[in-house]
Amino acid sequence: VPTLEEIAKLAGVSRSTVSRVVNDNPRGKDYTRARVLDVIQKANFQPSTAARRLGGGRSGIIGLVIPVGVPKLFSDPCFPVLLQSVSSACNKQSMTVMLWLAEPDYEQRIINQIINTDILDGVIVSSMSVTEPIVEALSKSNLPFVLIGRHPTNNNINFVDSDNQNGAYNIVCHLIKSGKKKIGTITGTSNMIASQDRLEGYKQALIEHDLEIIPDLILDGDFSEEGGIECTKDLILKDVDAIFAASDFMALGALKALKEAGKQVPQEIALVGIDDAPLASTTDPPLTTVKQATDLLGSKAVELLSELINNKSTSPKQIIIPLELQMRKSG
Amino acid sequence: VPTLEEIAKLAGVSRSTVSRVVNDNPRGKDYTRARVLDVIQKANFQPSTAARRLGGGRSGIIGLVIPVGVPKLFSDPCFPVLLQSVSSACNKQSMTVMLWLAEPDYEQRIINQIINTDILDGVIVSSMSVTEPIVEALSKSNLPFVLIGRHPTNNNINFVDSDNQNGAYNIVCHLIKSGKKKIGTITGTSNMIASQDRLEGYKQALIEHDLEIIPDLILDGDFSEEGGIECTKDLILKDVDAIFAASDFMALGALKALKEAGKQVPQEIALVGIDDAPLASTTDPPLTTVKQATDLLGSKAVELLSELINNKSTSPKQIIIPLELQMRKSG
DNA sequence: CTGAAAGCGCTTACAG
DNA sequence: CTGAAAGCGCTTACAG
């Protein structure tokens, strides 16, 4: 592997000049530049990222941290979309993504490594629960980072998030407008902010339409299909006429339970979800839901992080992406 | 973020001493060591990985490269198990895994980055197709690496692999012993070595039992469920009495097609798979298959890589993990 | 426009 | 057992 110094010798210029060429620094005669580029190509020179970072430059690598175990990573349908969009967006800017796998037990060590590795230009953290140690650590460091999912308390943090509350609000309003009066909800994992926001939207819709909020109709489904099934069994007993599941995955479970109980959807009990996961269009009946633009979440996060890295942005930026109603047959 | 130099000053020793303490170098008085450790802890010192690597030391980070698009990564049931086992094995040795996401278009740039980043102690590459550019690049570098999945031509490469050929051979023998005479096979993606090995095992079993190899009964299912369905429809028309699907996922498709055609499994047409994926035990009838120890594949790979990094191993090591027959009801 | 030089934060022989 | 010093491969002011 040739070094920059060797390239300099081969091209008959100084290291500084080679460095400038490599980094597209505008200073430099075109003639010299062309010659150096030629040598670089012939020698198949690749600058050492480690040395580059130590010297004060960019690595072109950003870290993606999804503080969630492997099983969950693979079972949640959002992550593939997110990974793909982050990855594509990075590639367009000639940046590379590294995904950090974190087992809960070792989290602190991994956090230290992410921050101190000194190799990352920036970090994107996804899948926030309310208290996420890595966020605190990142805040104290001076590594640029953006969150996917808003932070509940710290307003100085850059993030992109879906407008979960408004999405939930809109779809519950839709249920109310179609004549439903006793609407239950199956909530997501309770320590996740998205869950809390979606529940908030549900409550807001009820309140604005003078419907009572009945705690017994608010059940925790933990974002799992099984949770959807169990909560729905319970809600059927409580005689609801509609169910808002805080994810399509839970709605899928709900649908199974409704079918097993012989309930007509949406006539007897309407069912709506949130996310617009691929499965939503293939259920029977197809699921009315609210579309979350997960791909936008990823690409916006990269865009924002890139601005931070290049110092284009100073004051914290917070990007909220609206959700869109997807009318189908289930509610 | 304090540097090693600052720690040295605080502890009243030289940088060398701090470095030795940090790296568990046995040289050093216990008293001095304890004092330095104390300072390190109080200052929350974390050595810079980039500097560490540049200086000639270890980063404690290994790269995991799965040269496959995100959609496939998430659809193939093997990968979660693999990721989990690699991740756990690394954590046990205080190493961290970085997963490199590679979109096909940008592969060369990413390959360069993996190798030249100079931050990785070693690399594990999984999911090999016959020609994998990263393997060639890695061979030319002096970065330690191990393959998960054997390499078809280069014998100087360290790898761990399942004994795919033997596994396929055994399960096809089982089919033959139970009286089946016209056995079709649905093969995996043709440019993958595992596919080729499994096909080879199928052929070997037929040959050794004086059964004819009929090219018409060898169909490419591309490791997809859909492929399993289509190939099975075809094989039914060709009147086979047994099917060996080269993955459980394809076997699942095959089972669907068999059911739709009203075939009794295994009486009319027996069906066997390979992998022993979770789904294998829940189909109706449960799938007879051959168990692939994916978790072992991951942990052995880490173990081997760790040896390479620590120079314990010189001559190339190739670890073959046997597959075990899982008798169930489908064949 | 280009080069000499200092510096990034470590590790590791080499002396003592 | 410990320290002074060189070196890893870059970047970036600073001169010219």
B177 against A140, higher pLDDT: B177
Nearest alpha-carbon partner for A130 in A152, A145, A108, A111: A152
B55 touching chain A per CB within 8 A:
no
The mean pLDDT value for B143-161 works out to 91
Span A67-119, pLDDT tens digits:
888 888 888 778 888 988 999 999 888 898 988 877 777 788 888 888 888 89
**Per-residue confidence band for A28, with pLDDT thresholds at 50, 70 and 90:** low
Model pLDDT, residue B148: 94
Model pLDDT, residue B27: 66
Q: Which of A59, A71, A80 sits opposite B74 (nearest CB)?
A: A80
Span A124-172, pLDDT tens digits:
998 777 778 888 889 888 899 999 999 888 888 999 999 999 999 999 9
Residues 6+ apart with CB under 8 A from A305: A62, A122, A123, A124, A144, A145, A146, A158
Residues counted in chain B: 331
Model pLDDT, residue B313: 65
A88 touches strand D (CB under 7 A): no
B70 touching chain A per CB within 8 A:
yes
Span B28-84, pLDDT tens digits:
667 788 888 999 988 888 899 999 999 999 999 999 998 888 888 888 778 888 988
3-state helix, strand and coil shares in percent for chain B, rounded to the nearest 5 = 45, 15, 35
Three-point CA angle B107, B108, B112, nearest 5°: 115
pLDDT > 70: what percent of chain A? 98
Comparing A216-220, A281-285, B314-318, which segment has the lowest mean pLDDT?
Answer: B314-318
Other C-beta atoms within 10 Å of B195: how many?
Answer: 22
Q: Which residue is nearest to nucleotide D7 (CA to C1')?
A: B55
What CA–CA distance (Å, rounded) separates B71 from A87? 12
Helix axes A30-43, A4-11, angle to 10 degrees: 120
The mean pLDDT value for B109-133 works out to 85
Distance, first Cα to last Cα, chain B? 62
Residues counted in chain A: 331
Other C-beta atoms within 10 Å of B212: how many?
Answer: 9
The mean pLDDT value for B108-119 works out to 85
pTM, two decimal places: 0.88
Q: Are the C-beta atoms of B331 and B288 separated by less than 8 Å?
A: yes
Q: Which of A50, A84, A87 sits opposite B53 (nearest CB)?
A: A50
Other C-beta atoms within 10 Å of A306: how many?
Answer: 21
Span B248-295, pLDDT tens digits:
999 999 999 999 999 999 999 999 999 998 889 999 999 999 999 999
Model pLDDT, residue A289: 97
How distant is the Cα of A67 from the closest Cα of chain B, in angstroms? 14
3-class SS of residue B256: helix
User: Is the pLDDT reported for residue A33 higher than 80?
Assistant: yes
Model pLDDT, residue A111: 87
Model pLDDT, residue B89: 93
How distant is the Cα of B219 from the closest Cα of chain A, in angstroms? 29
Span B293-302, pLDDT tens digits:
999 999 999 9
H-only helix segments in chain A: 4-11, 15-22, 30-43, 49-54, 70-75, 78-92, 107-116, 133-140, 164-177, 193-208, 225-237, 248-260, 294-309
Model pLDDT, residue A27: 66
- Classify strands B96-100 and A96-100 as parallel, antiparallel or unpaired: antiparallel
Nearest alpha-carbon partner for A156 in A318, A21, A19: A318
Q: Are the C-beta atoms of B280 and B308 separated by less than 8 Å?
A: no
The mean pLDDT value for A13-35 works out to 83
Model pLDDT, residue A132: 81
What CA–CA distance (Å, rounded) separates A188 from A196? 8
Residues 6+ apart with CB under 8 A from A31: none
Comparing A192-201, A213-222, B3-12, which segment has the lowest mean pLDDT?
Answer: B3-12
User: CB-side exposure of A110: number of CA atoms within 13 Å?
Assistant: 29
